[in-house]
């Protein structure tokens, strides 16, 4: 079985690289510009803050439901505080 895997690795053809397979699909048109451009760091920061805020909502929502003395208004104030804390 080990020999079969070894011979299988030898049979894999790595010399034929298909550029069309790895190019971006533009609905049959040639690409207008290079598709591998860099994003601004602010987009990554917004995505990371969204993930952190979303995880906090996931953790705080069951807490606000399970604890009887925490009302929905307190939950909204807590989320608002967290949101403005990350905004500043």
pLDDT (0 to 100) of residue 85:
84
Taking the chain, what is the end-to-end CA distance rounded to the nearest angstrom?
60
Q: Is the pTM of this model over 0.85?
A: no
Nearest CA to 53 out of 31, 86, 10 is that of 86
Query: 62 by DSSP, 3-state: which?
Result: helix
pLDDT tens-place string over residues 37-53: 676 778 888 888 888 88
pLDDT (0 to 100) of residue 62:
75
The average confidence (pLDDT) of the chain is 73
Structure tokens given for 12: 């894999």
């Amino acid at each position: 079985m080990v020999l079969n895997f070894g011979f299988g690795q030898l049979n894999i053809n790595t010399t034929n690289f298909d550029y069309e397979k790895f190019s971006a699909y533009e609905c049959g048109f040639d690409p207008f510009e290079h598709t591998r451009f860099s994003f601004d760091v602010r987009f990554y920061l917004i995505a990371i803050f969204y993930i952190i805020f979303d995880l906090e909502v996931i953790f705080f929502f069951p807490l606000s439901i399970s604890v009887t003395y925490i009302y929905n208004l307190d939950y909204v104030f807590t989320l608002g505080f967290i949101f403005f804390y990350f905004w500043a």
